Amino acid sequence: MKRFRKPIPHRLIFYGWVLFLWIGMATPPLSAQILPGDARVSYRIEAQLFPAQKKLLAQETIVWKNTSSRPVNTLVFHLYPNAFRSEKTTYFTEAGYHRKSKEELSTLQFGGIDVTEMRVVEGEELTGKIRFISPDDGNRDDTTVAEVDLRNPVPPNGQIVLKLNFALTIPQIFSRSGQAGQYFFMGQWFPKLGVLDGAGRWHAHQYHLHSEFFAEFGHYQVALTLPEEFIVGASGTLINKTKNADGTYTHVFEEDHIHDFAWVACPFFKEIIERIALEGRTQEITIVLLLSHPRAKDRYLSALRYAMAFYAKHIYPYPYRKLTLVDPPFTGLRSGGMEYPTLITGAHLDLLPSSVRLTEWVTVHEFGHQYWYGIVGTDEAREAWLDEGVNTYFELEIMEGLFKDSPSLVNLPLLRLSVPEYHRQRAFAGTRLDRINQPSWHFMDGASYAAAVYSRTATLLWSLRNLVGRDRMLGFFKRYAETFRYKHPESSDFLALFNRHTGEDFTWAFERYVNGYETLDHAVYSIESTRIQDDLGLFQNEVVFVRNQGYFPVELQITLENGEHIHQSWNTPENRKEIRFTAPSPIAEARIDPDFKVPLDENRLNNLKRRIPSRKGISRLIAGAGLMFQHLLSLLVL
């Protein structure tokens, strides 16, 4: 195994850096005070990682513009590393850590962020005015959101320049961010402003167990200083890399129109740069791949190629200069399967066979976030479905296209499962006490959150796609992504545009299944065929279809014993539909949704009914189950 030089900087370097930051506070570079282009905020950060101490020291310059119609005299910040400060934070409370014993807690490596200096450039000192608030749950032990009052309010269209110094104690990776040995994944690692809406209200949420993130679009320039042996991947594009006198390297990354910045560093990475041809141009991709995962490269690349081409064709080409994909190690898997602007983390397990498409699945999903969370920029904390659900719908489209000749998720001899079927089963598993559209911290548990936000939303959108047509559905999403590019739309914007694009009113669907608690279940209730005595050879046939719950337009199919099919649409909201007709043959069976276009129907078994019962199908199911059991027994012989 390759041995690396231990990255322990001299103690003097550590304190020297502290001194440098202090001096830096006194002389802000002028360039940092100009807000570029249409940016609403800009962040310039200079940070140094001290891997052995698991510390990071940084200096941050924020230029922020008040885009609301009112003067702003309070600024609200996210200080998300404080989610991992103690077992009493909202994150750990929601995760049940407060019930752990002292012994268990003593083994955990907590961490947090300390803002050591904050002030307005050439103006007010703010450090002492930092006040922690808990807008979501009132937890006083949670310090993930802070506010500061300004002596001089920022007028509409006015700007303010802030200088901050902060020190980060990097926790173990509990959720998405932290360290695992020499693997450092840094997401939500710096003080970041909340989002101010047009009415002058701040949107800033505490760090919750299930919720993800929301921030303002802007310009980022981040300089990261690390020991030489660390391979670095980050949001944005590398614009400069210099060697310092102490042997460390400084990597400078920059990007526009993004709302967050994440980075990763580890000595056990290999940086692979690939170029993908997209709609007449070349897109650069960097895969930060673990040295021990050489086989993962082609799987990541094939999934990315397909997903990028799909989005380029149906939405628009990926607009940033670069995309970075991080391949986390097994010990850092808690940072895997996550999205940040222009950077995503995958999930690859070498021990899994390639017929389990985990690597491709996660890659396709996380790349899709670049559009919905990244470019459109919805609020993942308050309305997670707009990002996760929409993105899962695209995951279905892409995975079904990528693996069109075999089940798209698992293709094992005893288990063949497609991504749409997986989401359908998960959507209806367990209780449905949570509605899709609600703040993520209101969900009962993680399973309920995932079932509603990801799977039920995708299943609803898949059903709507089959109703309005695939082209119209994809056309809507293209228009949605163009209309709300960098604009933070809300659920009401989504619905209004959907109605406008389709030319129909689908408020009923969103009110029932997104804002409401309804579920959908159709059933064939009864079938009757009676020979008409007066007219030899004719039968009086009758089928009753019912909706046990919900409403969704659906196709009905009645099959006569002579093989003739009768089709009807049921698109009226009553709960019972009776079809009576005379025919030369009695009914053999009736089916609801014969082409399986409404996966939102949660019980598929009652969608078919035969007039004359038959147990042949059941016998075959029993034979299959019995054989599996016999084989299982043969393994248990003592």
Name the minimum Å distance from CB 638 to another protein.
4
Binding mask 594-613 for another protein (x = CB under 8 A): --x-----xxxxx-xxx--x
* Residue 629 within binding range of another protein, rule CB under 8 A: yes
Query: Which span (68-76, 198-206, 413-421, 533-541) binds another protein, by CB under 8 A?
Result: 413-421
Handedness of CA 254, 258, 262, 268 (dihedral sign): negative
DSSP 605: G
* Residue 172 within binding range of another protein, rule CB under 8 A: yes
Query: Which span (78-86, 278-286, 425-433, 479-487) binds another protein, by CB under 8 A?
Result: 425-433
503 vs 613 by CB, closer to another protein = 613
Binding mask 336-355 for another protein (x = CB under 8 A): --------------xx----
Alpha helices in 453-576 (DSSP H): 457-468, 470-483, 491-502, 507-513
266 vs 325 by CB, closer to another protein = 266
Name the minimum Å distance from CB 589 to another protein.
9
179 vs 438 by CB, closer to another protein = 179
Which amino acid does the sequence have at 230?
Answer: F
* Residue 150 within binding range of another protein, rule CB under 8 A: no
* Residue 416 within binding range of another protein, rule CB under 8 A: yes
284 vs 421 by CB, closer to another protein = 421
Q: Which residue has the tokens 């019930």?
A: 99
97 vs 330 by CB, closer to another protein = 330
Name the minimum Å distance from CB 594 to another protein.
9
Handedness of CA 395, 483, 486, 493 (dihedral sign): negative
- What span, in angstroms and rounded, lies between the C-alpha atoms of 562 and 119? 84
What is the DSSP secondary-structure string of 360-413? Answer: HHHHHHHHHHIIIIIII---TTT-TIIIIIHHHHHHHHHHHHHTTTS-SSEE-S
* Residue 446 within binding range of another protein, rule CB under 8 A: no
Q: Three-class SS of residue 193?
A: strand
Which amino acid does the sequence have at 602?
Answer: E
- What span, in angstroms and rounded, lies between the C-alpha atoms of 632 and 272? 45
Beta bridge mates, 163: 61, 119
Q: Which residue has the tokens 């009962």?
A: 444
Q: For residues 269-308, which are near another protein according to CB under 8 A?
A: 290-293
Of 406, 387, 398, nearest in space to 480 by CA:
387
- What span, in angstroms and rounded, lies between the C-alpha atoms of 79 and 112? 9
Of 255, 216, 196, 204, nearest in space to 36 by CA:
255
* Residue 429 within binding range of another protein, rule CB under 8 A: yes
219 vs 334 by CB, closer to another protein = 334
Q: For residues 313-332, which are near another protein according to CB under 8 A?
A: 329-332
Quick one: which of 30, 199, 414, 536 contacts another protein (CB under 8 A)?
A: 414
CA distances from 287 to 189, 234, 481, 612 (A): 22, 11, 26, 59
Name the minimum Å distance from CB 548 to another protein.
11
How many Å separate Cα 500 from the centre of its chain?
A: 26
Which amino acid does the sequence have at 28?
Answer: P
* Residue 179 within binding range of another protein, rule CB under 8 A: yes
- What span, in angstroms and rounded, lies between the C-alpha atoms of 492 and 497? 9
* Residue 3 within binding range of another protein, rule CB under 8 A: no
Q: With contacts defined by CB under 8 A, how many residues of the chain interact with another protein?
A: 61
* Residue 623 within binding range of another protein, rule CB under 8 A: yes
Q: Which residue has the tokens 């670069």?
A: 322
Q: For residues 69-108, which are near another protein according to CB under 8 A?
A: none
- What span, in angstroms and rounded, lies between the C-alpha atoms of 613 and 589? 10
Quick one: which of 425, 502, 515, 585 contacts another protein (CB under 8 A)?
A: 425
Quick one: which of 182, 283, 370, 391 contacts another protein (CB under 8 A)?
A: 182
Name the minimum Å distance from CB 605 to another protein.
5
Name the minimum Å distance from CB 622 to another protein.
5
C-beta separation of 455 from 409 below 8 A: no
Name the minimum Å distance from CB 240 to another protein.
27
- The region, left, alpha or beta by phi > 0 then psi within -120 to 50, assigned to residue 515 is alpha
Site residues (CB under 8 A) for another protein? 1, 172, 179-183, 266, 268, 290-293, 329-332, 350-351, 413-417, 421, 425, 428-429, 596, 602-606, 608-610, 613-627, 629-634, 636-638
